[in-house]
Structure 1
Amino acid sequence: MQGLEPTGDEDTGKDIKDGSMVQSVVVAWRLLDALARSAGPMRVTELANQLEEPKAKVHRHLATMRYLGVVEQVPGSEKYRLGWKLYQMGQLTFERFDLKAVAEPYMARLRDEVHQSVMLAIPIGVEALFIANLDYVAAGLPKISGVSGTVVPPAVSTIGRIVLAYAHRKQQEQVLGQPIRAYTKHTLTDVKALRERLETIRTRLYDYGSEELTLGIASVAAPVLGAEDQLLGIVSIVGSVQFILDPPSPMQIAYVQACASAISANFNSTAYNGIAKPLR
């Protein structure tokens, strides 16, 4: 979810000057944006301070949006979070904006080229949600796969780091300001190293990891980007450490980036220009 910032549309400034923007809608949107970016539910005072709006005004907006089902109050708490109705609206939007349908042909080509299972995830706040997987199955080898609907925590895997790399700065600080859980002895938990890795991801447009969440499993992932470099999803290969080394082969990196480039091109992204040619 993007913040209320200039988009480059020439009419934006004119609309503001003409007074045609409805300020109550602006405040409501900023509240939703703040709740979406937050790592957890927020109190009225926190929201008022962040938006620099009167507490009473923020409370009135939240009460109205709560009545509409757009936000909800955490039971037994004074904190607010996004409501179920937004999830339903998001599902309807997602069905129209079908990343999975666009991605799967390229994912199939990637699977057949590198002989590894391929996963597609989307960002949900600072976490990632698997929405599609194409398994690679070969005689005599165990099937290594993920399960659609699985939520991946931030920071501690290739997919989690890519989501965090494209998250809002405040979200990054909320995650990195807390102890990072080590799932195995290979999990990257050093905050300084994580900050450097997040910067690197946005430059090289891929990440990799070995045995960070599960022993014996490695992955290579690349971001799927939109026209303004917003993160739409993450495509990755996952397999045994016997076949995805640390670091992975240049060929594996190139194919994962080529797949991400091809999917991104369908959403008018030019982020991979000069880095990876789209997979055909």
Structure 2
Amino acid sequence: MALSILENLAFAQDDVGVTELSGALKTTKSRIHRHLRTLLNLGYIMQSPKTERYRIGIRLIELGKAAAESTDLSGVAQAFMRQLRDETGHAVIIGQVEDEGIRILNKLSGKLAIDVGVRPGSVLGYVTSAQGKVALAAMAPTAAKTILQKPLEQVTEYTITDRKALISHIDDIRKRGWATAPNEGMLGLNALACPIFSAGGELAGTIAIVGLTQYIKTPPDPKQIDAVIRAAEAISDALGYDPESRSRNAHS
């Protein structure tokens, strides 16, 4: 019951009263009161002296922050990366979102005769990589707008440098949930990437298979798309992602 109360308060848009909690959790006000007193004494919730309504407290916020900081994206993703590599045969890379682009945290080599990939520690550009473009499509609109206002560097003849065309391209990626970048960052190379989300619904990183354009075609094989989407969803689930939390963030 205490955990249910905390979840209710954490996801509420405003302070919550005893009557609302009682109705939402289908229990008596007296039972709610007992748990609220305990949580209040421990610092997990706060009570407004004016309205006597409740909200989450500093201790719960600190606990959530500590849990988030202790989550190693690369470690959580390891088993799912291996499964994706075994299913597709391609190299698999996991990346985290940074100001300048997507930093590659880890790579698993593929099973094909010619192995391609990206060195861990490298940063892939937002507009020249599948990972960067799928991140732009999944991140907060204001953050994506700031990035898309920067000068667009043409790395190869296939790099999208027309701003309107790029914005339309990102909109398409947002609708379908995956991105490719054939020849856009390096000739002959392509990747198929999907976003990974955190427990709070924020963009946590990306996962992708990487290979030659003859093996990851445009558009990619539906089986490849399905495999990468499933891997991204599995990692997001392991991080505690709740699709409803992302929906709430989008409307707040």
Fold match, TM over 0.5?
yes
Distance 1:207 1:179 in 2: 21
SS at match of 2:231: helix
Distance 2:119 2:143 in 1: 26
Q: Deviations over 1:51-99 (max 9, x none)?
A: xxxxxxxxxxxxxxxxxxxxxxxxxxxxxxxxxxxxxxx9x97762111
1:262 aligns with 2:234: yes
Distance 1:98 1:12 in 2: 32
Distance 1:228 1:108 in 2: 26
Change (3 A) 1:11 1:193: same
1:179 aligns with 2:182: no
1:9 matched to which residue of 2?
12
2:217 matched to which residue of 1?
245
2:173 matched to which residue of 1?
201
What percent identity do the matched residue pairs reach?
A: 28
Distance 1:236 1:266 in 2: 17
- Measured after TM superposition, the shift of residue 175 of structure 1 is 2.3
Q: Deviations over 1:106-148 (max 9, x none)?
A: 111111111100000011135211001000143xx32202111
Q: Deviations over 1:183-219 (max 9, x none)?
A: 1111122212222232333332211120110111011
**What is the one-letter code of the residue matched to 1:8?**
F
| TM-score, normalised by the number of residues in structure 1 | 0.62
1:72 matched to which residue of 2?
none
Across the aligned residues of Structure 1 and Structure 2, the Cα RMSD in angstroms comes to: 2.9
- Measured after TM superposition, the shift of residue 103 of structure 1 is 0.7
Distance 1:222 1:158 in 2: 8
Distance 2:145 2:47 in 1: 32
Q: Deviations over 1:160-184 (max 9, x none)?
A: 1122223333332332223211111
Distance 2:47 2:187 in 1: 55
Distance 2:242 2:172 in 1: 18
SS at match of 1:248: coil
Change (3 A) 1:94 1:270: closer
2:84 matched to which residue of 1?
110
Distance 2:102 2:240 in 1: 23
1:151 matched to which residue of 2?
123
Structure 1 regions of 5+ residues with no counterpart?
Answer: 1-5, 20-89, 273-280
The equivalent position to 2:99 in structure 1, one of 106, 112, 125, is: 125
- Contact 1:126 / 1:167 at 8 angstroms: preserved in 2? no
Distance 2:140 2:80 in 1: 29
Change (3 A) 1:148 1:95: farther
Distance 1:133 1:94 in 2: 22
| TM-score, normalised by the number of residues in structure 2 | 0.68
- Measured after TM superposition, the shift of residue 11 of structure 1 is 6.3
Superposition map of 1:50-129 within 5 A: 96-125=70-99, 127-129=101-103
2:196 matched to which residue of 1?
224
The equivalent position to 1:213 in structure 2, one of 185, 202, 212, is: 185
- Contact 1:207 / 1:220 at 8 angstroms: preserved in 2? yes
Larger radius of gyration: 2
- Measured after TM superposition, the shift of residue 17 of structure 1 is 5.8
Structure 2 regions of 5+ residues with no counterpart?
Answer: 1-8, 18-45, 51-64, 245-252
- Measured after TM superposition, the shift of residue 16 of structure 1 is 9.4
1:192 matched to which residue of 2?
164
- Contact 1:156 / 1:189 at 8 angstroms: preserved in 2? no
Distance 1:216 1:158 in 2: 14
Distance 2:161 2:200 in 1: 30
Number of residue pairs matched by the alignment: 195
- Measured after TM superposition, the shift of residue 100 of structure 1 is 1.1
**What is the one-letter code of the residue matched to 1:9?**
A
Q: Deviations over 1:246-268 (max 9, x none)?
A: 11111110000011011111123
1:166 matched to which residue of 2?
138
